[in-house]
Structure 1
Amino acid sequence: GSKKKTCNTCHGQGQVRMQQGFFAVQQTCPTCQGLGEVIEEPCDQCHGHGRLNETKTLSVKIPPGVDDGDRIRLSGEGEAGEYGAPAGDLFVEVSVKPHKIFTREGNDLYCEMPVSFVTATLGGELEVPTLNGKVRLKIPAETQTGKLFKINGKGVKSVRSNHVGNLLVRVIIETPVNLNKEQTELLEKFQASLGQGGKRHSPQESGWLDDIKGFWEKMTK
């Protein structure tokens, strides 16, 4: 298209004075739309606006620690400005896919690990996955299901500071399945041997049964 020239209607002011009876009102120039300049022969593609609709693919660097809903700013990659004005910015909103192993709360990570009832009873070690490789976690004897173990500094790095969260491992005691006859008999003997020790082998179960007994006694009074 041709070059810009001063608008003949407003003489470059961008506004025109309209007389309405006794009143004079200033309005945006209808010829140049307030720009003060016009293009007599606008470009066939952009029609004088100086911008076109185009699609392009950008590579976005994701910093460590970003969370769901965070926004990443790409300067100058937004909507192009009209009539040669600079382009705006593009904001990319992050949507984090759920992980099969870890869940996140703030900068802390949580995971659940199955533990055999033998390991939970006698104690042992587990190999725990982290974002930076595997670590060994010591399981003390007589560990109950649902117990949380904290591994310091193995969570997520904060996107706004150098703080790193923790990894919290919840152990879930797995009940053995598909037992053969010999294994079943061994467990039955084991269960019988526990009965000889009274409440000291199952304090939670015994306490719960005592609470139930007290509850029913109150209900029947």
Structure 2
Amino acid sequence: MTKDYYDILGVERDATPEAIKKAYRRRAMRVHPDVAPDDADAAEKFKELSEAYEVLSDSNKRAVFDRGGDPMSGAGSAGFSGFGGGFSGGFDFTNLVDAMFGQAGGRGPRSRVRQGQDALVRVTLQLHEAVFGVTKPVKVATAVVCPKCSGKGGEPGSEPVTCSTCDGAGEVTAIQRSFLGDIRTTQACPTCRGYGTIIPQPCSECSGEGRVRTTRTLQVKIPAGVSTGIRIHLEAQGEVGPGGGPAGDLYVELSVADHETFRRDGDNLEMVVKLPMTAAALGTTVDVTTLEAEWEGSDPADRSVAVDIPAGTQSGTRIALKDRGVPKLRGGGRGELGVTVLVQTPTKLDDHQRDLLRQLAESRREDHPEAETAKHGKGVLGKLSEWFTS
């Protein structure tokens, strides 16, 4: 036997039936005489390819071939009795075309009702809204069910009628004759666009779409502790589908605006407090306004906090106040409120104040100090610099 059907189809000897079908379909689309009319050998190549597919797609014939026998002998020898005379015997030309182009037909009319798409809106929050949570009105421009036709697409009182072109099948079949036989192709009906029915009186409100665009306002609950980039998923609040189909989902993407006093760092809030040099040297207690002061639902007692400044506090010192930061989005508790001290050196002194400072410097032997160099690195001063430059 000179023919190797596996080689003709370009598959391995252990190829599955599905792999054989795909290989045949792929090669048939290249050598079919109607596709390659300029190839004088196209008909012979297609005949050989079809013979290989007939053998390898039939488990009995394939077994005979694998054992070294002639699968086309006996009852199967009439399978290709003259290519010009058409196919006969054990080979079904309809199955050949189905393998080549995929099974056509049988889909039936498609529904006018389809799933809607998801929608995305972006919302900017103030820092206190993101930290403590808020229920926020959000405007959404989406498609909703047409109020006039309730999604049916026709004027009230009218009903869809069966398409006369396809008799409700939603598809039509065209027959193309060739020397190989009749080739049938099926496509969506051009009259009804595959629906199988026609709406004789489309709704004047939605033009038969079953949905209209509008802007609606949703009350969206924002949980405490959210941050920029987080998306809130609202099921079935997106676009209503054609024909009044089920709505997609709505995603609300959050962005948190910068604050003039507080800076967020993960679950912590950071702020800077300016102190006179004398207060930092002697120590003091200062009242600091917290972020709760901007939240209507907060306890008035939490809207400020007393911060103890130890004597000798240096500029850049951070004092951490526990459970005064951002509520943790997953899990309980809150982060810290970090209060960074910025010691201010006086720039305007009268003669008396200048004499007092001079006396202090002399008593501390600092009237002629030696400069000390500092190593490079961020440290507290570097972080403090970042605060003002970021």
Same fold (TM over 0.5): yes
**Counterpart residue number, 2:355:** 185
Say which SS state the counterpart of residue 52 (structure 1) adopts. Answer: strand
Distance 1:136 1:44, change over 3 A: same
**Counterpart residue number, 2:373:** 208
- Cα deviation, 1:66-88, whole Å, max 9, x if unaligned, reads 21222223333322211020222
Instruction: For structure 1, list consecutive stretches of 5 or more residues without a partner in the other structure.
Output: 200-204, 212-221
Say which SS state the counterpart of residue 218 (structure 2) adopts. Answer: coil
Distance 1:24 1:150, change over 3 A: farther
**Counterpart residue number, 1:218:** none
Residues in 2 aligned to 1:4 and 1:191: alpha-carbon distance in whole angstroms: 98
Q: Does 1:91 align with 2:91?
A: no
Q: Does 1:64 align with 2:224?
A: yes
Amino acid at match of 1:161: G
The alignment yields a C-alpha RMSD, in angstroms, of 2.6
Q: Which residue, 311, 315, 320 being the options, matches 1:150?
A: 320
**Do 2:358 and 2:367's aligned partners in 1 also have CA atoms closer than 8 Å?**
no
Residues in 2 aligned to 1:105 and 1:34: alpha-carbon distance in whole angstroms: 57
Once the 2 structures are TM-superposed, how far is the Cα of residue 162 of structure 1 from its aligned partner? 2.5
**Do 2:188 and 2:194's aligned partners in 1 also have CA atoms closer than 8 Å?**
yes
Stretch deviating more after TM superposition (10-19 or 53-62): 10-19
Give the length in aligned residue pairs. 205
Once the 2 structures are TM-superposed, how far is the Cα of residue 92 of structure 1 from its aligned partner? 2.1
Report matched runs for 1:14-29 at 5 Å: 14-21=170-177, 22-29=182-189
Q: Does 1:194 align with 2:364?
A: yes
Residues in 2 aligned to 1:197 and 1:176: alpha-carbon distance in whole angstroms: 17
Report matched runs for 1:69-148 at 5 Å: 69-132=229-292, 133-148=303-318
The higher radius of gyration belongs to 2
Amino acid at match of 2:172: V
Q: Does 1:169 align with 2:339?
A: yes
Residues in 2 aligned to 1:28 and 1:185: alpha-carbon distance in whole angstroms: 99
Residues in 1 aligned to 2:373 and 2:215: alpha-carbon distance in whole angstroms: 65
Distance 1:206 1:75, change over 3 A: same
Distance 1:51 1:178, change over 3 A: same
Amino acid at match of 1:162: G
Identity score, percent: 40
Residues in 1 aligned to 2:366 and 2:334: alpha-carbon distance in whole angstroms: 49
Residues in 2 aligned to 1:137 and 1:4: alpha-carbon distance in whole angstroms: 75
**Counterpart residue number, 2:110:** none
Amino acid at match of 1:181: D
Distance 1:25 1:164, change over 3 A: farther
Distance 1:73 1:196, change over 3 A: closer
Say which SS state the counterpart of residue 259 (structure 2) adopts. Answer: coil
Distance 1:34 1:144, change over 3 A: farther
Residues in 1 aligned to 2:362 and 2:265: alpha-carbon distance in whole angstroms: 43
Instruction: For structure 2, list consecutive stretches of 5 or more residues without a partner in the other structure.
Output: 1-154, 293-302, 376-390
- Cα deviation, 1:79-124, whole Å, max 9, x if unaligned, reads 2211020222222222212111111122111111111212211222
Distance 1:40 1:121, change over 3 A: same
Residues in 2 aligned to 1:150 and 1:166: alpha-carbon distance in whole angstroms: 6
Amino acid at match of 1:18: A
**Do 2:361 and 2:367's aligned partners in 1 also have CA atoms closer than 8 Å?**
no
Residues in 1 aligned to 2:338 and 2:307: alpha-carbon distance in whole angstroms: 11
Say which SS state the counterpart of residue 64 (structure 1) adopts. Answer: coil
Say which SS state the counterpart of residue 53 (structure 1) adopts. Answer: strand
Say which SS state the counterpart of residue 187 (structure 1) adopts. Answer: helix
Distance 1:11 1:169, change over 3 A: farther
Say which SS state the counterpart of residue 191 (structure 1) adopts. Answer: helix
Residues in 2 aligned to 1:7 and 1:166: alpha-carbon distance in whole angstroms: 70
Q: Does 1:35 align with 2:200?
A: no
Stretch deviating more after TM superposition (18-27 or 134-143): 18-27
